[in-house]
């Protein structure tokens, strides 16, 4: 999805994506796992920043392997990157075989049924690679330990599959001390040792920082590329996305006035309010609303922070700019970006940077900057 066509003067918000920072983050992650190939996870429209733009910038920097969530994401990425290796994490959705093979997309196979269907597709002439996904403790997608044992005990099935990747996914890599990390590593190694000829992949962004044991042949970073927090309590890599909303209106309210839906917040004294042109329809979570007795989110404008006042509306938020000198209609307020980390904004809405980024919505004027 690309919103480049929305001109700034027709939008309430603008999103600036620093592709130079994205590439720098990919290089940082690659340097942490020097023995492995570093792929890029670009599912959910590249975590909201634009999968095609992000992937093209990463491919130009030397990234050759990409992971998308869904076949339709893969088909669009294939049109932009004819030579890349592209894996589809959702697996083999019934009815998708022909579309996958036509676009040379590699399914991540996660059940005996999917493996049977892919073997049948290969016998019918499909020649693209495929990953085998082993569940080692997430209990989401992937073969169970018993299913993995059955598969590795069937060399004819392995030969028919000719897997291009063996992978698993860590549940708690963002918490390095969590005991599940080592348990998952041990479980993955057992399957890996039965299929030593197949390239292996375990680490997401945070998994890369668990050390060499977790790197195997290929790493799959996502969120760290986009500049959000990926290890509990650790700062992110470079900021990639800056979201700003336009000041549509500046107004004064007097003591006793309420602001916004539900009249949930009452001005104790005379206040100056700036009304901004983005709301929950743009992915600014309503849970960041402010009300009497509980403060919500904040924005950054003219060098200062300004707190939300009242509820987040569909298209609008209001902030208290009483202490910020010179705010004018037409100013841009930073909702997150270099001055206001996306994870802080997310935390004030009770969520994580991942959810804020992937929920950005499509009404912004988008600008892509390369360093």
Residues that bind ligand PLP (CB under 6 A): 41, 43, 89, 169, 204-205, 220-224, 230
Return the bridge partners of 317, or none: 276
Q: Which residues, in sequence order, are CB contacts of 186 under 8 Å at separation 6+?
A: none
Q: Quick one: 219 or 289, whose CB is closer to ligand PLP?
A: 219
Is 371 tagged catalytic? Answer: no
The dihedral built from the CA positions of residue 326, 332, 335 and 341, taken in this order, carries a sign that is: negative
Q: Quick one: 222 or 337, whose CB is closer to ligand PLP?
A: 222
The helix or strand, by DSSP H or E, that contains position 56, with its residue range, turns out to be helix 51-60
Structure token digits, residue 181? 């990390």
Q: Quick one: 91 or 297, whose CB is closer to ligand PLP?
A: 91
3-state secondary structure of 255: coil
- For residue 109, count CB atoms less than 10 angstroms from its CB and return exposed for 0-12, middle for 13-18, buried for 19 or more: buried
Structure token digits, residue 242? 């800056």
Q: Are the C-beta atoms of residues 14 and 367 closer than 8 Å to each other?
A: yes
Helix axes 51-60, 19-32, angle to 10 degrees: 60
Is 43 tagged catalytic? Answer: yes
* Residue 213, φ and ψ in degrees, nearest 5: -55, -25
Comparing every residue's Cβ against ligand PLP, the nearest one is 222
Structure token digits, residue 368? 């892509």
- DSSP per-residue codes, 70-109: SHHHHHHHHHH-TT-EEEETT---TT-HHHHHHTTPEEEE
- DSSP per-residue codes, 292-346: TTB---EEEETTEEEEB-S---SS-EEEE-TTSTT--TT-EEEEEBTTB-HHHHH
CA 166 vs CA 57, 81, 190, 202: distances in Å: 27, 23, 12, 9
Considering the candidates 43, 87, 226, 280, report the single residue annotated as catalytic.
43
β-sheet with 40-41: strand ranges across: 37-38, 218-219, 200-201, 165-167, 131-133, 106-109, 85-88, 65-68, 40-41
CA 95 vs CA 69, 118, 206, 293: distances in Å: 16, 11, 34, 53
Q: Quick one: 41 or 340, whose CB is closer to ligand PLP?
A: 41
| Active site amino acids | 43, 261
């Amino acid at each position: 999805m690309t919103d480049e066509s929305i001109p700034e003067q027709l939008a309430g918000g603008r999103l600036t994506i620093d592709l130079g920072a994205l590439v720098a983050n990919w290089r940082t992650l690659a340097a942490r796992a020097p023995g492995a190939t570093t792929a890029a996870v670009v599912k959910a429209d590249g975590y909201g920043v634009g999968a095609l733009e992000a992937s093209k910038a990463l491919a130009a920097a030397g990234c050759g392997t990409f992971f998308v969530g869904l076949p339709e994401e893969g088909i669009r990425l294939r049109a932009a990157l004819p030579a890349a290796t592209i894996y589809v994490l959702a697996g083999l959705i019934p009815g998708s075989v022909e579309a996958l093979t036509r676009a040379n997309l590699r399914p991540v196979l996660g059940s005996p049924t999917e493996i049977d269907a892919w073997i049948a597709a290969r016998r019918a002439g499909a020649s693209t690679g495929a990953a085998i996904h082993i569940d080692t403790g997430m209990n989401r997608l992937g073969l169970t330990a018993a299913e993995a044992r059955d598969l590795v005990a069937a060399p004819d099935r392995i030969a028919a599959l000719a897997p291009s990747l063996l992978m698993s996914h860590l549940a708690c890599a963002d918490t390095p001390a969590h005991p599940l990390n080592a348990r998952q590593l041990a479980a993955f190694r057992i399957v890996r040792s039965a299929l030593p000829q197949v390239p292996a992949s375990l680490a997401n962004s945070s998994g890369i920082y668990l050390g060499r044991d977790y790197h195997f042949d290929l790493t799959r970073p996502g969120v760290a590329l986009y500049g959000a927090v990926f290890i509990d309590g650790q700062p992110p890599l470079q900021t990639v996305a800056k979201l700003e909303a336009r000041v549509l209106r500046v107004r004064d309210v007097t003591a006793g006035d309420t602001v916004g839906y539900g009249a949930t917040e009452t001005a104790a004294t005379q206040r100056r309010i700036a009304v901004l042109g983005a709301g929950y329809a743009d992915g600014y979570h309503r849970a960041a609303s402010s009300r009497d007795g509980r403060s919500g989110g904040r924005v950054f404008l003219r060098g200062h922070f300004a707190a939300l006042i009242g509820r987040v509306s569909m298209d609008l938020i209001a902030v208290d700019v009483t202490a910020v000198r010179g705010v004018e209609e037409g100013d841009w307020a930073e909702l997150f970006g270099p001055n206001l980390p996306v994870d802080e904004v997310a935390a004030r809405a009770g969520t994580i940077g991942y959810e804020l980024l992937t929920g950005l919505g499509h009404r912004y004027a988008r600008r892509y900057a390369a360093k």
